[in-house]
Amino acid sequence: MLKYLLVIGVIAFVYYFFIKKKPIKSTTPTQKNKVQSDEMVQCQTCEVYVEISETILSNGKYYCSQECLKSAK
């Protein structure tokens, strides 16, 4: 009887620690505040929408190109 309990215990241990998928954690508040790369923002000079990964950030404002940045100054 002890052998059966030991085998069942080992199987349960292997299942819970190696096979069972862990639940996905919900997003934390810091992850919600991060800006996604596909987010669109408006240029402060020409008002064209551009992906945030392609913009120039200066003094908290987004610009689509160096020309728009120079004309804003």
**Residues 37 and 51: beta-carbon distance below 8 Å:** yes
**Which pTM was predicted?**
0.49
SS3 content of the chain, % helix, strand, coil (to 5): 45, 15, 40
pLDDT in tens, the chain (73 residues): 888 999 999 999 888 887 776 666 666 555 555 555 678 999 999 999 999 888 999 998 999 999 999 988 7
All structural domains of the chain with their residue ranges: 2-72
**Can you tell me the distance from the alpha carbon of 20 to that of 49, in angstroms, rounded to the nearest whole number?**
45
Residues 6+ apart with CB under 8 A from 54: 64
